[in-house]
């Protein structure tokens, strides 16, 4: 089965031109230059930050302009890392990218002073978010070094082992966290889940896992044990189960998500997300466009009859998922859904998305009309600025 994947790029405002600070990068083109950069990091006992880019990559240029030019980012990275830039499409760049299992541009890899990868970041990352990640990695790495000797000697206590896995995961090294979690499951866990077990398996399971019934039986215990990791864990379980359902054509797993996962997050988020969203994503990413359209139409005609907010959320999620592909069959149906929403209640979002779909279809004059209808309904500064940018784009064409 062919499965679609989509990557969305956020649009950010420009950093003022008066700011002169910049991350001090070493441009690397050969293995010898990379080894020299690694020696510099080792001599200074610093981690190495490797930005892998492509010359044609728009988000890479945005990173250079908006993020690496941010004074706070430049100050932090220049003091705490040896910073390297590498074109992923040069001869050596391809070798490095293959070794690091490059997922897309830009990708940033953080290596320790021995050259081992301890974290990676994929995609455009705003300055404040990047600073948070780098600080977490630095703090986490100091903790990791504390646990490693006991782990290597086989003397790591179960509670410390669970802490070790969490720190590695928080640093962004998901592959290593998964490997450690597999060892934990084989070597430490019994038939019933202890609190430390919950902290580990919460990020490494799906709804068919042997622990699911025990895991989900006491939501209050989960919240107490996982604390701030509660919702990230639920999202991970959701994603693991969704991927499994798509790969194995298991619609029954989607129903299980809607029935068993939704109650665990009803107090934390809008329950609509997990009652309807799994079906919408399953049909879309499985290329079952007719089934997707039927699902939305039937739900809106029955238990969601007249609920224009539900219809808008369903339609807008499909629009967002399909930005890259712009499937005409779906776009035409989305127009119909947004028109229905507008007929029931004129709202800014309804007109705005209606205009965006028309724009995707190349119907610019009709798109302008929708955006003009949205204009007097804009109630926030963000809505007004977004609409202004779209109208400026249309006028320039």
pLDDT of residue 203: 92
Burial class (CB in 10 A: 0-12, 13-18, 19+), 14: exposed
Taking only the tens place, the pLDDT of each residue in 95-136 is 998 998 888 889 999 998 778 888 889 889 999 999 988 988
pLDDT of residue 14: 29
State the chain's mean pLDDT as an integer: 88
Spatial contact of 230 and 196, defined as CB atoms under 8 Å apart: no
Rounded CA-CA distance 96/92 in Å is: 6
Residue 251 belongs to a domain: no
Q: Which residues share a beta bridge with 285? A: none
- 273-297 average pLDDT score: 94
Spatial contact of 77 and 25, defined as CB atoms under 8 Å apart: no
Taking only the tens place, the pLDDT of each residue in 339-367 is 999 999 999 999 999 999 999 999 999 99
For residue 319, give its domain range: 287-397
Of the three residues 125, 153, 171, the one that is the final residue of a domain is 125
CATH number of the CATH domain containing 386: 1.25.40.10
Residue 167 belongs to a domain: no
Spatial contact of 99 and 109, defined as CB atoms under 8 Å apart: no
CATH number of the CATH domain containing 80: 3.40.30.10
> Which residues make Cβ contacts (< 8 Å) with residue 12, sequence separation at least 6?
62, 66, 126
Task: Domain count for the chain, please give it.
Answer: 2
Spatial contact of 260 and 207, defined as CB atoms under 8 Å apart: yes
Rounded CA-CA distance 139/80 in Å is: 12
Rounded CA-CA distance 168/173 in Å is: 6
Rounded CA-CA distance 233/256 in Å is: 17
């Amino acid at each position: 089965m062919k499965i679609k994947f989509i990557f969305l790029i956020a649009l950010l405002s420009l950093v003022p031109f008066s700011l002169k600070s910049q991350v001090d990068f070493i441009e690397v083109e050969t293995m010898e230059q990379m080894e020299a950069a690694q020696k510099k990091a080792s001599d200074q006992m610093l981690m190495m930050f490797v930005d892998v880019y492509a010359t044609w990559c728009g988000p890479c240029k945005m990173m250079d302009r908006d993020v690496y030019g941010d004074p706070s980012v430049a100050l932090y990275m220049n003091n705490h890392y040896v910073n390297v830039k590498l074109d992923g499409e040069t001869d050596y760049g391809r070798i490095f990218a293959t070794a690091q299992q490059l997922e897309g541009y830009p990708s940033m890899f953080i290596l320790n002073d021995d050259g081992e990868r301890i974290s990676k970041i994929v995609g455009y990352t705003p300055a404040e978010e990047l600073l948070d990640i780098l600080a977490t990695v630095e703090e986490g790495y100091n903790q990791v070094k504390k646990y490693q000797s006991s782990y290597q000697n086989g003397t790591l206590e179960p509670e410390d082992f669970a802490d070790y896995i969490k720190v590695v995961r928080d640093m962004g090294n998901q592959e290593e966290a998964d490997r450690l979690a597999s060892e934990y499951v084989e070597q430490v866990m019994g038939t019933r889940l202890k609190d430390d077990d919950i902290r580990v398996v919460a990020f490494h399971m799906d709804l068919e896992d042997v622990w699911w019934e025990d895991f989900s039986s006491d939501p209050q215990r989960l919240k107490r044990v996982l604390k701030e990791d509660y919702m990230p864990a639920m999202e991970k379980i959701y994603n693991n189960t969704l991927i499994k359902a798509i790969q194995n054509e298991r619609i029954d797993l989607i129903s299980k998500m809607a029935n068993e996962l939704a109650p665990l997050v009803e107090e934390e988020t809008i329950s609509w997300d997990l009652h309807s969203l799994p079906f919408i994503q399953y049909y879309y990413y499985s290329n079952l466009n007719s089934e997707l359209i039927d699902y939305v139409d039937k739900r809106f005609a029955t238990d969601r009859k007249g609920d224009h907010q539900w219809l808008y959320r369903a339609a807008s999620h499909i629009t967002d998922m399909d930005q890259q592909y712009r499937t005409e069959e779906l776009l035409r149906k989305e127009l119909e859904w947004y028109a229905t929403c507008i007929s029931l209640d004129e709202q800014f979002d309804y007109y705005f998305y209606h205009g965006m779909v028309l724009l995707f279809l190349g119907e610019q004059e009709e798109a302008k009309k929708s955006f003009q209808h949205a204009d007097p309904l804009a109630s926030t500064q963000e809505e007004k600025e977004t609409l202004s940018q779209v109208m400026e784009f249309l006028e320039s064409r």
